[in-house]
A and B are shown apart, each in its own frame.
Chain A
Amino acid sequence: MMRAIQFGHAAAALIVGLAAYGAPASPEASFQAAQKARATGDLTAALAGFETALALDPDNIRYGSEYRQAAIQAKEYERSLKFFEKLVADHPNSAKAHLNYGFAYVDKIPAAGSITQVILANTALTEFTRSIDISPSWIAYYTRGNSYLFWPKVFLRAPLGVADLEKAYGMQKAGPKRTYHVRVYISLGDGYWKTDNMDKARAIWTEGLREFPDNAQLKARLARNGDDLKTYIDNELDPNKRVDTNLQELWASE
């Protein structure tokens, strides 16, 4: 009896302790706690919180995206990669986990040497492909298609990018219009440009501008020609510059 009481006290103390540290009882609670920690600059706690949330809800694209942004902030690229590696091993059919895993490789690219960039970019493509194989989606096709465009022409990947982006284009045309759909207009045009199909590039950028009349990136492309346009797009597709892989537009638009 005495022992049971003592155990009861210990259990109560543990519960109180967890509550005092804000221990979450759900993935969303973990996620919100991590967001708070990140807002206060406690990146260590934030990363741990995001990881807890993702472990409980691996297919949550938002959790993964916010986790990666915190990892970028903390320059914890290796930690992020290792975490997603384990996550997809534990949840091999989680399409969004594979997608975020691919993005984690992309996130590391600007911090890597030129050859390592190639390796990271290629591994990212592998994860994007797994995501598509599990569950084809607009975001997965757009992501992989856009990633192909970063490869220099000599590697002949731009046509693959165009094919993916055309799929994403077809998907978005079949559904309600979202603000992020402008990305496909931009990238598909870049893909056409990169495969020397200037007429189609201009056509898709023009169509995009009709749909999104205020888009500065579309305007900038349509205002340029020749070397000027090449310089502009090369700059946009510079692997040494950090690509914004924050996916918040997806849920902000819903």
Chain B
Amino acid sequence: MSDGADTINTRRKGRITVALAVVTLAAVSVPAVIFAWTSSTEIRFVEQTDRAGLTHTHHTRLFRGKTGDVLHVFTSGGASVAIGDYDNDGFDDVFVTDSDIGRKCRLFHNNGNLTFTDVTAAAGVAGGNDQHSIVADAVWFDYDNDGREDLLVVRFGTPLLYHNEGHGKFKDVTASAGLNKFGNTIAAIAFDYDNDGYLDLLFGNYFQPADLLNLKTPHVLPNNLDNAINGGGVTLWHNTGKGSFVDATQQAGFDKHTGWTTDVGHGDFNNDGLQDVYLACDYGTDRIFFNNGNGTFREATEKAIGFDTKKGMNVDVADYDNDGWLDIYVTNITDEYMKECNMLWHNNGDGTFTDVSKETGTCATLWGWAAKFGDFDNDGWQDLFVVNGLRSAGKENYVSTLVNMIIQPGIDFSDLNNWPPVGNMTWSGFQKKKMFHNMGGQSFQEISSAAGVDNDRDGRGIGMADFDNDGRLDLYQTNVDQPSMFYRNVTERVGNWVQLKLIGTYANRDAIGARVKLTAGGLTQIREVNGGNGYAGQSMSRLHFGLGNASKVEAVEIHCREGQGIVSK
């Protein structure tokens, strides 16, 4: 990463561009040494968790009573990671969550040499797991555009917002920010849905807003295992620009969604310059909403993707085939006893998507959780890493016990008391992670064993970043009730690369939602800055482009807002 900012001149066009010259290219980095990339490059990672000082073990909340272990499994999703450069030193730092009462979340400062220092205590961001709340996810975002990444921690409970005070200190500003609504939030993204220059928040809520730690009713589980409508839906928080947020869920048109939202993702799916939304839902239909550009969204699920009955877990967004349209990847459950198949939604460019997961070889990843696209060998085609596994425990299999409950005529699935105790049984456990090498945008080849990432822990989140700024994307994998894993990318003879850090001036400072179109070696690629796409994980906000053999970037266009603000070099 170059320290010197390389500002790109803007070519303004159209009446809107005056307002749209909002993104400056603060740094364009090209590796000092250019390696000759070949298509036979073998992607390889080595685990260096302890050596890097990134050791962290997650703990799921323990619940009391005879139904406690069922709730324990149902809430075992809160092992998450958020990557962000909180001190603006050019090296991405790591925030990881824990979930059991009294357990601490951790902030690891990147020392710049692939080692990290636990700075949690000094930063004051350890809290969140108390008698009323369970930490589930976290997002870095600069809500007040002061140039410092603030930290949002969402919970089964009320959220926490930490303002970055600088010098490694954070201040809890939740109360003044107005983020006081109770929800069982499992996912969050930051994006500027109304293009007012301030980052808003979209929460994905799993359970309905019932206090799981003080249950008033046992009817808190899904009322249908394929078409549940008693989940928590989503909450949209509009940033007022004055340090506070207001609930805009109904106003924006999200209030009709009552599914079990597991993940939320955003991107400009129809190339109109506006940020659209995809909701992955457990126990039923995923939802897609297009942005109307006036602070409201229109649901387009039926036409765009149709109604599914799967167990959606993850939303990641990328143009995997470099056709200029953002595609969407959703993990589901594809195990011995349930053959749902993931969904790789190929964007048809007309407001509709076609699932090509079977055709591309990305269908089966067992009990899937987070999935992230990233160009691990810098060949210009984004690869894919998927983590999986629900619960690795004893030899007995919970599924065979569970089926006896499921087939009982008229059984009320929502009643906790009807679910058999889990005890020490395994449920879709000991599953090998999956890594897919993108074969030119047409298909993917599974390479997890050769790449060294086929661990069998109970994965949840993925944080992807170039932690040592060597032009190779590294990975941090969180696991539930197990230690996290840090994988350093040691792929040799990778292609050339460029990373862009965008800084908004009139737009939101993080430039979330800005799109870069880059052409090199005859290949045009697009990336968008996102605010936390991917289940239980936020990845590096710098945009990473693999260039293959190309040693020169032919064109860069940066689009934001209405898609008219074009910056070129």
Contacts and interface: CB of A to CB of B under 8 A. Distances in A.
B468 interface: no
B309 A113 contact: yes
Contact of A114 (B338, B397, B399): B338
A179 interface: no
A156 B559 CA distance: 57
A155 B400 contact: yes
Interface in A104-157: 112-116, 118-119, 122-123, 152-156
B403 to A, nearest CB: 6
Nearest to B413: A115
A154 B225 contact: no
B336 A154 contact: yes
Contacts of B311: 114
Given A152-B336, A239-B339, A112 B309 contact: yes
Contacts of A122: 407
A217 interface: no
Interface string B81-125: 000000000000000000000000000000000000000000000
Given A122-B407, A154-B397, A154-B399, A240 B227 contact: no
Main secondary structure, interface of A, reads helix
A238 interface: yes
A224 B523 CA distance: 43
B407 to A, nearest CB: 4
Nearest to B334: A114
Interface string B398-420: 01100100110100000000000
Nearest to B308: A113
Contact of A118 (B310, B336, B340, B407): B407
Contacts of A119: 406-407
B333 interface: yes
B542 to A, nearest CB: 39
Contacts, number: 47
A154 B428 CA distance: 11
Contacts of A153: 336
A114 B339 contact: yes
Interface string B322-356: 00000000000100111110000000000000000
Interface string B218-233: 0000000111000000
A118 B399 CA distance: 12
Nearest to A115: B225
Interface residues of A, number: 17
B354 to A, nearest CB: 17
Nearest to B222: A115
B367 to A, nearest CB: 12
Interface in A191-228: none
A181 to B, nearest CB: 30
Contacts of A115: 225-226, 338, 406
B333 A114 contact: yes
Interface string B227-247: 100000000000000000000
Interface string B296-312: 00000000000001110
A154 B309 contact: no
A240 to B, nearest CB: 6
Contact of A240 (B333, B336, B339, B400): B339
Contacts of B336: 152-154
A207 to B, nearest CB: 30
A119 B403 CA distance: 9
Nearest to B341: A240
A3 B310 CA distance: 66
Nearest to B338: A114
Nearest to B339: A240
A80 B399 CA distance: 31
Contacts of A116: 225-226, 309
A152 B335 CA distance: 10
A240 B310 CA distance: 12
A154 B397 CA distance: 8
A60 B380 CA distance: 63
Contacts of B284: 113
Interface of A: 112-116, 118-119, 122-123, 152-156, 238-240
Give the 6 A-B residue pairs with the shortest CB-CB distance, closest first: A113-B226, A113-B309, A115-B225, A122-B407, A152-B337, A114-B338
Interface of B: 225-227, 284, 309-311, 333, 336-340, 397, 399-400, 403, 406-407, 409
Given A155-B399, A240-B339, 18 more contacts: A113-B225, A113-B227, A113-B310, A114-B333, A114-B338, A115-B226, A116-B225, A116-B226, A116-B309, A118-B403, A118-B406, A119-B406, A123-B409, A153-B336, A154-B400, A155-B403, A156-B400, A239-B339
22 contacts: A112-B226, A112-B309, A113-B226, A113-B227, A113-B284, A113-B310, A114-B340, A115-B225, A116-B226, A116-B309, A118-B403, A118-B406, A122-B407, A123-B407, A123-B409, A152-B336, A153-B336, A154-B336, A155-B399, A155-B403, A238-B339, A239-B339
